[in-house]
Each structure stands twice: as structure tokens, then as C-alpha cells.
């Protein structure tokens, strides 16, 4: 069986770099596209000598003319700090970028997967969240550039599917963590680990009782590949995340134990539109993809802490 040529937009980012490795390890070719707005060159060093790896510096808000068999559209800043820095560019990346990649998929007849997000559910009024839940999103808030951008991208994907028969896949990603996270991305896992390792105060927003569910990166990437390998009539969306729920205080206490840090917890006001709880219902992924997370939080945190120690 001949190898596939796989385009990964945002391939130098946290998730993209892990996906590059997964695809290369399977013997396929990778065309990695990134503009380094949040991606890092260092993530690509392990692949640069591989004959199956090619890198193109490119912004997906402009068209791309290449020949590929599959497209994973991951390009977009994913942490609030990064996507709120230039909200207009965030919308361009999510919406115009999606349209450009869909146009490419239409021309090349490639399968295309959209890395969507649990943020499309907003601050949910239904718990846990199923794929049929339509969400509770503030369209004019500080997070809307990302939330509504991703919602519009999903609309485009399904319109291209209905109108042009493009072979789409949509994954809704819940909180994911692991090596290659950016130390200054403002996400809770990286924040807590970096603060603990530096002996700084652990910053908890709100009262600390708000919940999240954390999926280790290798589990998520396995979900991506399983979704891409499905038949063309399997479009999603699929929730991909770990359904084990934990409060922010519990997460902080776990990280303090694993790092041996003496840092103290401090509480700050909750940011605007920050969800109070988030937990995926993954029944659809279990049934349709034979997928569920395998890595326990404690083991994943150990690996992530070890990675951040090498950075700090």
C-alpha cells in the first residue's frame, strides 16, 4: 500500500507536532504548514532530516496550492491569551483558513478534518455536553473571536459536505495537555506546573470549584487518526476528551504533590465568559471510533512536568 501525503496546518504547534510524529511513524508523508504565530520551530527539529517530512511557512488565511490526500486543519491559536491578542486575525484564521482548506480538499478530493473545540458549547447549560447540544455562547464577548470562529468553521465544513460532497471530519477537542504545551499560553495545566516549578503562587481564577476534564495528548492524537480513517459518510462532530472531571483546586493540589512545590494557592476574579464546568459525553466516539482515553491524569501530569522541567 502506497504512503499518503498528509497536510497538517498548525503543524508546529502543541497538537500539530504530536500529529506530525504520529503520521510519520505510520510511514506516511507529512507536509507541515505553520506561520509560527504560536507554533515553535523546536517542535519540528526531530523531523527535519526525515525524507517524508516537508515544511512550508504559510498563513492559512491565504490560499495554498499543493497536492495532498488528507488534510488536518489545526491552524489557530487555541489559548485565550494567544487568541485574544489579535482577535481579528483569530477569526481570519478560523473562518477564512477553513474556507481555504476546504477549497483545497474540494480540488484534490482529499479527506479533511477540522480541529474544532469544546468552546463551541460556550458556558454550557447542559452537563455533560453531547454533540447535539447547541451551546450557550456570547457572540460579542472577549472569547467570541475563537468560539464563534470555530462555530462558523463547522458551518462551512458541513456546507461544503452538503453542497460539494467534500469528505469532512469534525472533532470537538476538550482540554488537552502534555509535552509541547507553551509555558506562557495561560492554560490551567501549564500555568499551574510552571508556577509550581518556579515556586510562585498558584493562580486560581474564581473559587476553584469550576471543573474541567483533561485528556493527555497521545490519547487525543489517536482519536484524530481514528476519525480520519473512517468511511466518508462518518463526518462527526465527535467530542474528543477525557470525561473524568476535576476541580481546579484538586488539579492544583495534584500538581503541588507531583512537583514537591511549596507554592501557595491564590484566588483571582474569574475572566469574562469563562465556563464554570466542562465535561464531554464521549459515547459517540466510543461507538463510532472505538476510542476512549487511556492515560490517567497522574501519569500524564508526570510526563508534562518532566517536559516543563527541561524548558525551565
- Which of 54-58, 82-86, 93-97, 120-124 shows the lowest mean pLDDT across its residues? 82-86
Examine residue 188 and state whether it is found in any structural domain, yes or no: no
> What span, in angstroms and rounded, lies between the C-alpha atoms of 76 and 67?
22
In the prediction, which pLDDT does 1 show? Answer: 58
Burial profile 16-39: b = 16 or more Cβ within 10 angstroms, e = fewer = bbbbbbbbbeeebbbbbbbbebbb
Query: What are the tens digits of pLDDT across the range 258-307?
Result: 999 999 999 999 887 777 888 999 999 999 999 999 999 999 999 999 99
In the prediction, which pLDDT does 276 show? Answer: 82
Query: What are the tens digits of pLDDT across the range 216-253?
Result: 999 999 999 999 999 999 999 999 999 999 999 999 99
Whether 161 is catalytic is no
Terminal CA-CA length for the chain: 44
> What span, in angstroms and rounded, lies between the C-alpha atoms of 116 and 204?
26
> What span, in angstroms and rounded, lies between the C-alpha atoms of 86 and 166?
30
In the prediction, which pLDDT does 301 show? Answer: 98
Q: How many domains does the chain have?
A: 1
In the prediction, which pLDDT does 186 show? Answer: 85
> What span, in angstroms and rounded, lies between the C-alpha atoms of 277 and 128?
9
pTM of model > 0.75:
yes
Query: Are 114 and 120 a contacting pair, CB within 8 Å?
Result: no
C-alpha cell at position 147: 468560539
Phi, psi of 135 (to 5 degrees): 95, 170
> CA separation (Å) from 278 to 14, 206, 291, 296?
21, 15, 20, 18
For residue 229, the domain's CATH number is: 3.40.50.720
Query: What are the tens digits of pLDDT across the range 172-213?
Result: 999 999 999 999 888 999 999 999 999 999 999 989 999 999
CA 194 to centroid of chain Cα atoms = 20
Examine residue 312 and state whether it is found in any structural domain, yes or no: no
Query: What are the tens digits of pLDDT across the range 88-112?
Result: 999 999 999 999 999 999 999 999 9
Q: Is 254 exposed, middle or buried (0-12, 13-18, 19+ CB in 10 A)?
A: middle
> What span, in angstroms and rounded, lies between the C-alpha atoms of 237 and 35?
27
Q: Which bin fits 73, alpha (ψ -120 to 50), beta or left (φ > 0)? A: beta
Domain extent for 233: 5-176+216-242+279-294
Examine residue 194 and state whether it is found in any structural domain, yes or no: no
Of the candidates 72, 121, 146, 160, the residue annotated as catalytic is 146
Examine residue 207 and state whether it is found in any structural domain, yes or no: no
Strand pairing report for 70-73 and 111-117:
parallel
> CA separation (Å) from 125 to 57, 134, 172, 173, 211?
40, 10, 17, 18, 14
Quote the percentage of the chain above a pLDDT of 90.
90
Amino acid at each position: 500500500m502506497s504512503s499518503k501525503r498528509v497536510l497538517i496546518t498548525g503543524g508546529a504547534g502543541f497538537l500539530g507536532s504530536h500529529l506530525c510524529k504520529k503520521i510519520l511513524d505510520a510511514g506516511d508523508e507529512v507536509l507541515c504548514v505553520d506561520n509560527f504565530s504560536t507554533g515553535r520551530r523546536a517542535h519540528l527539529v526531530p523531523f527535519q532530516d526525515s525524507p517524508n517530512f516537508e515544511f512550508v511557512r504559510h498563513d492559512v488565511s491565504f490560499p495554498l496550492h499543493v497536492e495532498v490526500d488528507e488534510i488536518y486543519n489545526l491552524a489557530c491559536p487555541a489559548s485565550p491569551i494567544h487568541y485574544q491578542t489579535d482577535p481579528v486575525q483569530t477569526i481570519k484564521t478560523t473562518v477564512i483558513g477553513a474556507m481555504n482548506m476546504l477549497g483545497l480538499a474540494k480540488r484534490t478530493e482529499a479527506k479533511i478534518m477540522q480541529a474544532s473545540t469544546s468552546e463551541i458549547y460556550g458556558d454550557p447549560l447542559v452537563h455533560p455536553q453531547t454533540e447535539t447540544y447547541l451551546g450557550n455562547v456570547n457572540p460579542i464577548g472577549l472569547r467570541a473571536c475563537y468560539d464563534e470562529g470555530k462555530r462558523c468553521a463547522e458551518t462551512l465544513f458541513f456546507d461544503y459536505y452538503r453542497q460539494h460532497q467534500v469528505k469532512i471530519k469534525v472533532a470537538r477537542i476538550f482540554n488537552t495537555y502534555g509535552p509541547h504545551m507553551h509555558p506562557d499560553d495561560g492554560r490551567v495545566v501549564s500555568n499551574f506546573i510552571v508556577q509550581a516549578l518556579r515556586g510562585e503562587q498558584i493562580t486560581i481564577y474564581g473559587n476553584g470549584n469550576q471543573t474541567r476534564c483533561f485528556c493527555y495528548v497521545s490519547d487525543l492524537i489517536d482519536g484524530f487518526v481514528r476519525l480520519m480513517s473512517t468511511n466518508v459518510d462518518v463526518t462527526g462532530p465527535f467530542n474528543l476528551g477525557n470525561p473524568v472531571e476535576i476541580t481546579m483546586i484538586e488539579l492544583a493540589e495534584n500538581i503541588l504533590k507531583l512537583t514537591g512545590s511549596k507554592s501557595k494557592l491564590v484566588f483571582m476574579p474569574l475572566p469574562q465568559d469563562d465556563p464554570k464546568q466542562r465535561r464531554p459525553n464521549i459515547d459517540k466516539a466510543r461507538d463510532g471510533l472505538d476510542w476512549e482515553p487511556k492515560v490517567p491524569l497522574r501519569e500524564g501530569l508526570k510526563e508534562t512536568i518532566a517536559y516543563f522541567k527541561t524548558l525551565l
